[in-house]
Amino acid sequence: MTIYDLKVKNTDGSETALADYRGKVLLVVNTATGCGFTPQYEELQELYEADHEKGLEILDFPCNQFMNQAPGTDEEIHDFCTGRFGITFPQFKKLEVLGENADPLFRYLAENTRFEGFGEGPMAEILKKVVSQMDPDYESNGNIKWNFTKFLFDREGNLVRRFEPTCPVAEVRKESEALL
């Protein structure tokens, strides 16, 4: 199974085959509108504007599983993201990334990656405390830990790297640009 075997739901409920993105460098992100990492939308949009014409696609999947940080409807979330951050990359239907109702895409991502660590700094320390209460074994499994976890795929659909929310978008950009 590859990412190209999966389908995702658009905000209107229709499906998009991820095979439609074959030949593109993909950055898959689970997001939220009320998260401490929400300002990353601005950096992600800058990355998209800089590299979309070279073959980069950013696929945005809102998720409300982490402390109710994406409580709105798909339309409200989209209006917030386009109005506040001017995003123009594809945004899909809100989904779950954990548990028995996890979307197949995020199940695939969790099964095929390992947690990369939160690094150092104030946000890393906060996440370590919060996530360890939700999942005491969080360091040894591939489950999605928080909003703005990013997954980078090359043009052939190979999963290249997972980036935790605390990883600077500038680092993501270096790796994505190397694949373009």
- Cβ atoms of residues 28 and 153 within 8 Å: yes
35 is catalytic: yes
Binned at pLDDT 50, 70 and 90, residue 110 comes out as: very high
Binned at pLDDT 50, 70 and 90, residue 26 comes out as: very high
pLDDT score for 22: 98
Over residues 72-85, mean pLDDT? 96
pLDDT score for 25: 98
Q: Which CATH superfamily is domain 22-179 in?
A: Glutaredoxin (3.40.30.10)
pLDDT score for 117: 96
Residue with tokens 């809100």: 94
Binned at pLDDT 50, 70 and 90, residue 52 comes out as: very high
Q: Which of 35, 63, 81, 167 is catalytic?
A: 35
pLDDT score for 31: 98
- What average pLDDT does the structure give for the chain? 97
Over residues 50-63, mean pLDDT? 98
